[in-house]
Amino acid sequence: MTCACVRIVTAPSVRGVGTSSSVKRAFKYRFYPTDVQAAELSRTFGCVRKVYNLALAVRSEAWTKRKEQVGYGQTSAMLTIWKKTEELAYLAEVSSVPLQQALRHVQAAFVGFWGKRARYPRFKSKRKSRASAEYTRSAFRYTDGRLVLAKMAEPLDIVWSRPLPLGVEPSTVTVSRDSAGRWFVSLLCEDTPKLVSASMNAVGIDVGLTAWITLSNGEKVANPRCERKDRERLARAQRVLSRKEKGSKNRAKARIRVARIYAQIADRRQDHLHKLTTRLVRENQTLVIEDLTVRNMLKNHKLARVISDAAWRELRLMLEYKTAWYGRELITVDRWFPSSKLCSACGVIAEAMPLSVREWTCESCGTTHDRDENAAINLLAAGLAVTACGAGVRPERESSSRSRPSAAKQEAPHVRVGTLSL
């Protein structure tokens, strides 16, 4: 069998199969602050945002006007001076650790920009930016499930929906408040995930809109369409919000009602994603997915809303870190691989395949294919080509950006649909 193997990248693993290694994991919980704690945290959020914007303004001005680079150490010295001024004296009323962390976040943002991994840092908005503050080990006390932050006398009232791993203590605590007014605390810990049972299964995963994902073994997972279920309720809440006077208390209440609906939609989506990705990683040793450019696909205004609701990018991110945690292998096939048009039975590529075609028959061998299932089988075969002979990992480009050299598999392992037998 010859497969048109294109750029295939294997996701980096934190550990190998059968070995254990510690990783950094964040455990997020909801908590209910007292009035005093809420006021203190709100002040801290505002000071963190102010320090971030001041540091960004200083660094940007130094470069644009004088071509000078200002680093973290210089902004840290400036923070001490800012606290002594009359205008910014309120910065000294909150814990200094979240303010120092804000300066480190500015530095990290510039490092990402210089490394061409992110765009130029932007100023934080009071209404649109995420309200959060990060505390390192010197600014909190954690004992027997009781977390006390700096400048506070009482522990946070945390809802422990799941226990922290035994013997693990947080190294960093991040407190945040979302647009719906809910408070969360995230505890970053060094943890060793439990190894899942060994598996020899391999599966190809094709994402879609009608069927959320289609597996190479024929299984289809329905799209939960989390946003569509609440679309009418969300529209009504937004109409009510639009009629409220700007700056009024009623408008603030209506805005929170809209935010709560959005939060419920996001929570349901996250729940579906976590359950699905965890099951896939537990059941399969090798997972093969397609490298989709979701950002470009969102430019199609007819499909942008449903693509965003499907959360394909979030699905891939979860598979990446969960396969690394549990010693599985994730293989990503180049986006130009013709998974839908390639006949999985004879290897002939169909000339055209519009999205409206959900089932097609190969003109060469006469096999009738379900579009999504056929794509998942082809993705699995492309991933197995790397396992068998390492072909097509990063081939040289030809004259056309869409043309790729083919690679013949040197050995053909016995494969059942959706299962790899070694």
Token pair of 190 as six digits: 């060094």
Confirm if 385 and 392 have CB atoms less than 8 A apart.
yes
Residue 191 appears among annotated catalytic residues? no
What is the number of helices (H) and of strands (E) in the chain?
Answer: 10, 19
Which is catalytic among the residues 40, 227, 309, 372?
372
Q: Kindly name the residue from 40, 134, 206, 227 that is annotated as catalytic.
A: 206
Residue indicated by tokens 């097509």: 392
CA–CA gap between residue 107 and residue 229 (Å, rounded): 41
Catalytic residue list contains 154:
no
CB burial of residue 421 (10 Å; 0-12, 13-18, 19+) = exposed
- Report strand pairing: 131-136 vs 23-31: unpaired
How far apart CA 217 and CA 220 sit, in angstroms, is 9
Catalytic residue, candidates 290, 320, 329, 373:
290
330: helix, strand or coil: strand
Range list of β-strands (E), 293-350: 329-333
- Could you give the angle at which helices 231-242 and 249-283 cross, rounded to 10 degrees? 160
Q: What is the DSSP string of 13-80?
A: -SS-TT----EEEEEEEEE---HHHHHHHHHHHHHHHHHHHHHHHHHHHHHHHH-----HHHHHHHHH
**Rounded Cα–Cα distance for residues 276 and 318 (Å):** 10
Measured distance CA(74)–CA(107) in Å, rounded: 11
Query: Is 372 in the active site?
Result: yes
Active site residues: 206, 290, 372
